Amino acid sequence: MSKQFDVVVIGGGPGGYIAAIRAAQLGFQVACIDEWKNDKGGPAPGGTCTNVGCIPSKALLQSSEHFEQAAHHFGDHGITLDNLKMDVAKMVGRKNTVVKQNNDGILYLFKKNKVSFFHGRGSFAKAVEGGYEIAVAGAANETLTAKNVIVATGSNARALPGAPFDEEKILSNDGALRIGAVPAKLGVIGSGVIGLEMGSVWRRLGSEVTILEAMPSFLAAADEGVAKEALKAFQKQGLKFEFGAKISKVDASGEGVVISYANAKGEEQTLAVDKLIVSIGRVANTIGLNPEAVGLQLDERGMIVVDADCKTNLPGVWAVGDVVRGPMLAHKAEEEGVAVAERIAGQHGHVNFATIPWVIYTSPEIAWVGRTEQQLKADGVAYKAGQFPFMANGRARALGDTTGFVKFLADAKTDEILGVHIVGPFASELISEAVVAMEFKASAEDIARICHAHPSLSEATKEAALAVDKRTLNF
């Protein structure tokens, strides 16, 4: 006997679980199906983000940053420590506890909002009168029927051809988050977000980390000035980069992993490491979804085809998050989930792609919103730039972390903020002010005229806004 719902959500990551909660808030009968299992085989909702992404990576970044501070920076504060040690098993255990707290939190939220949770794999069975039948294969096999289906099945790590993940020596994000002991030599392929965050964790704990990147330049999506400053800082910390690397072979048959590649000059090189993280992007996941049963359209890369409103080619079927176009970010998935639930309710949910912030949680942190200088130039937009270094900010000096700057880009004529780019301490938190400002179509002068607490890092934001008009006060 099929169970009837108004909305069935397939996938319980940030796109899916948030869509389910919002739909329930709007008065719908909602089911959410998620297949992720914890180490005891129980449900672990939250998707990539909670289990092997945003949350565990930030837990390890925090632990390793504490170690780095204790090892190299406490001395500046007059604190000396003897016999400093890192217990990697404990660090990973703490990370697992943080993950579990988040899994449990989502199960609690489902109960609170009366979302029916089904632990198992959801797949399209067939279209039926007025909706769709979804089969759930899990601890119990069920059939659900709903007029509206939201697909939020996320993404998986992309493997290098000829080098499948074994999660022992060739690691995806999953294996990279549960390395049991500090590898003496760690290789990373791809100097994107995961490569930088995971490379930083293990570099801080003592690994010699080499990152091989195919592109000739660093962090092409970031503002060039920010990328340059960040690269300088990472190299100073000891991360080694090889740009323009063309990987020809990954051999894991011996004790470690040997990577053969041609460098930017075309010279053949080999790199021998104990473990290799491959972080070269992610692919949309529709494994087991059975889209053919209902004729759900995928593109040539395997993504579900949607319009600007996350509508698929099928009436009543929507898709959000990593499985569709757009940046693969948890907050983008969440925004789409909320908007779709509201659209199902006849409301006008909206996601503003122009103000989605990006954050890389390295040290220094990197965060931006809006367009970069190179994009504005390419778009032929006349702009003014203003930059303020953390070196001239009192709070940053007190923290002992003066790397980087805040940079504003504003329209040359109207002064409207077009982009804000930050490299430095707590950039992840500072960027929110810029997002709010851009949502409200603020000018640089608006920010320059707002009172910011002293001493705070946010004064660097105000000063960068002042710099657009060439009138910084502290620099």
Residues that bind ligand NAI (CB under 6 A): 160, 189-195, 197, 212-215, 245, 247, 279-282, 327-329, 359-361
Q: How far is the CB of 80 from ligand NAI (least distance, A)?
A: 34
- Cβ distance to ligand NAI smaller for residue 42 or 216: 216
Question: Is residue 94 a contact point for ligand FAD (CB under 6 A)?
Answer: no
- Is 285 a residue that touches ligand FAD (CB under 6 A)? yes
Contact criterion met (CB below 8 Å) for 291 and 298: yes
Are 228 and 373 in contact, with CB atoms under 8 Å apart? no
Q: What is the DSSP string of 119-145?
A: EEEEEEEEEETTEEEEEEEESS-EEEE
CA nearest to 312, candidates 144, 151, 104, 143: 151
List, in order, residues 6 or more apart from 80 with CB less than 8 Å away: 74
The binder of 121, among ligand NAI, ligand FAD, none, by C-beta within 5 to 8 A per type, is: ligand FAD
Residue labelled with tokens 């294969």: 137
Chosen residue from 125, 134, 144, 152 binding ligand FAD by CB under 6 A: 152
Strand-pair partners of 232: none
**From CA 298, how far away is CA 312, in angstroms rounded?**
9
Is 454 an active-site residue? Answer: yes
289 interacts with, out of ligand NAI, ligand FAD, none, CB within 5 to 8 A per kind:
ligand FAD
Take residue 241 and report the two structure tokens written for it. Answer: 């980069």
Alpha carbons within 13 angstroms on the beta-carbon side of residue 282 total 26
Choice between 125 and 367, CB closer to ligand NAI? 367
Q: Are 303 and 285 within 8 A, CB to CB?
A: no
User: Which residue lies nearer to ligand NAI by CB, 23 or 157?
Assistant: 157
With CB under 5 to 8 Å by kind, the binding choice for 23 among ligand FAD, ligand NAI, none is: none
- For tokens 């930088």, name the residue: 196
Residue closer to ligand FAD by CB (options 259, 310) is 310
Partner whose footprint covers residue 33, from ligand FAD, ligand NAI, none (CB < 5 to 8 Å by kind): ligand FAD
Which of ligand FAD, ligand NAI, none interacts with 331 (beta carbon under 5 to 8 A by kind)? ligand FAD
Q: What is the number of other CB atoms lying within 10 angstroms of the CB of residue 39?
A: 8
Half-sphere exposure of 110 (CA within 13 A, CB side): 27
Which string of DSSP letters, residue by residue, matches 79-101?
Answer: ---SS----HHHHHHHHHHHHHH
Q: Which does 312 bind (CB under 5 to 8 A by kind): ligand NAI, ligand FAD, none?
A: none
Q: How far apart are CA 463 and CA 222, in angstroms?
A: 21
From the candidates 66, 72, 73, 454, which is the catalytic residue?
454
Pick from ligand NAI, ligand FAD, none: which does 48 bind, CB < 5 to 8 A by kind?
ligand FAD
Q: Which does 281 bind (CB under 5 to 8 A by kind): ligand FAD, ligand NAI, none?
A: ligand NAI
d(CA 431, CA 305): 31
CB of 182 to ligand FAD, least distance (A): 19
Q: Least distance in Å: CB of 360 to ligand NAI?
A: 5
Determine the interface stretch with ligand FAD among 34-42, 68-76, 101-109, 462-470 (rule: CB under 6 A).
34-42
Q: Which of 7, 33, 427, 434 binds ligand FAD (CB under 6 A)?
A: 33
Query: Judging by DSSP bridges, how do beta strands 155-157 and 170-171 pair with one another?
Result: unpaired
With CB under 6 A as the contact rule, the residue among 8, 23, 54, 442 that binds ligand FAD is: 54
Question: x/- string (CB under 6 A) for ligand FAD, residues 291-330?
Answer: ------------------------------xxx----xxx
Residue 60 engages ligand FAD in binding (rule: CB under 6 A): no
**How many angstroms separate the CA atoms of 4 and 308, rounded?**
29
DSSP annotation string for 236-281: HHT-EEE-S-EEEEEE-SSSSEEEEEE-TT--EEEEEESEEEE-S-
CB of 216 to ligand NAI, least distance (A): 10
* Separate counts of helices (H) and strands (E) for the chain: 13, 21
95 vs 109: CA distance, rounded Å? 21
User: Residue 135 corresponds to which amino acid?
Assistant: A
Of 172-231, which residues contact ligand FAD (CB under 6 A)?
A: 173, 194
Identity of the residue, 193 or 339, whose beta carbon is nearer to ligand NAI in the bound complex: 193
Nearer to ligand NAI, 171 or 212 (CB): 212
Partners of 9 in beta bridges: 32, 150
For ligand FAD, the binding residues (CB under 6 A) are: 10-16, 33-36, 47-49, 53-54, 57, 121-123, 152-155, 173, 194, 285, 288-289, 321-323, 328-331, 333, 361
What residues are labeled active site? 454
